[in-house]
Amino acid sequence: MRFEFRGCVVEWRGPAPYYLVPVPEEEAEEIRAVAAMASYGWGVVPVEATLGGVVFETSLFPKDDGYLLPLKNAVRKPQGLGAGDEVRVAMRVRLG
């Protein structure tokens, strides 16, 4: 299952700052349909994402009937991305 979408980077300040991209509703709905097959627990969904030509593996976090794509610092910092920046993401849900 593959997706391409645009979104704005948001910052969550917890014990440490995290940068995330909310997955648009349409794509989140399709992901919810297969989440039980893909999740390895806690509702997280493993994905392979591409941002700015960089491919990385992570897991989507469920949030308010949607999902958040965490951006690793190793991906975000070299591209100078911060809160409010619009990004284009290609993503593949890793099933089983």
pLDDT per residue as tens digits for the range 51-85: 999 999 999 999 999 999 999 999 999 999 999 99
Range of the domain at 64: 2-93
DSSP 13-55: ESSSEEEEEEPPHHHHHHHHHHHHHH--STT-EEEEEEETTEE
φ and ψ at 23, to 5 degrees?
A: -80, 130
pLDDT at 40 over 90: no
47: confidence class by pLDDT, cuts 50, 70, 90: very high
Taking the whole predicted model, whether its pTM rises above 0.85 is answered as yes
Sign, CA dihedral 25-2-45-38, equals: positive
Domain harbouring 72, CATH code: 2.40.30.100
Number of domains into which the chain is organized: 1
φ and ψ at 94, to 5 degrees?
A: -90, 105
Locate 48 and state its tokens.
């392979």
Tens-digit pLDDT profile for residues 21-32 = 999 999 999 999
- Residue 96's pLDDT is 66
